[in-house]
Structure 1
Amino acid sequence: MSDPVRDVHITGAPIKLGQFLKLAGLAEDGADAKDLIEAEEVTVNGETETRRGRQLTAGDVVALGDDRARVTTG
């Protein structure tokens, strides 16, 4: 059974993947986010994502290992 998805609220959509990783606490800083993405350790909606600038919108689920976070707005 997978771990539950945490909702992470953003005030403006869309948000870049690198920024969301930091906001969600999945990366310590921008350099860490870049390294994780380049190492192909990050997925968006179940697909490996290698673009730090990938635009995320409400409902997208970002995962790093077993830690999953969903973009929410509103």
Structure 2
Amino acid sequence: MELINFVLTTEYIELIKLLKLLNLVESGADAKNCVEKGLVTYNNLQEFRKRKKLRTGDTITFKNYKISIT
């Protein structure tokens, strides 16, 4: 599993925006579909909220990536 450290420069970032920003999906629609299908975990729990606000200290797992929000 590849570890990605994402440095947050604002209060939060929405889940689908993070997936797009890191180029882990091809489009916003792709990001929404992946979240709706339960392919993303948030702090080790399956996440279905597309606009989930991610903050410092959160961890996201998607495909073969583990994303740490710092």
Band of TM-score, shorter chain: 0.7 to 0.9
Correspondence 1:52 to 2:47: no
TM-score in terms of structure 2 length: 0.86
Q: Which runs of 4+ in 1 moved over 4 A?
A: none
Unaligned stretches of 5+ in structure 1? Answer: none
Matches for 1:1-74 after TM superposition, within 5 Å: 3-72=1-70
Verify the 8 A CA contact 2:16 2:31 in the aligned structure 1: yes
Looking at structure 2, the residues matched to 10 and 25 of structure 1 have their Cα atoms a distance apart, in angstroms, of: 16
Unaligned runs of 5+ in 2: none
- The Cα shift of 1:4 comes to 4.6
Q: Do the aligned residues in 1 keep the contact of 2:8 with 2:55 (CA within 8 Å)?
A: no
User: Over aligned residues, Cα RMSD in angstroms?
Assistant: 1.3
Counting matched residue pairs gives: 70
Output the TM-score relative to the length of structure 1: 0.82
Percent sequence identity over aligned pairs? 33
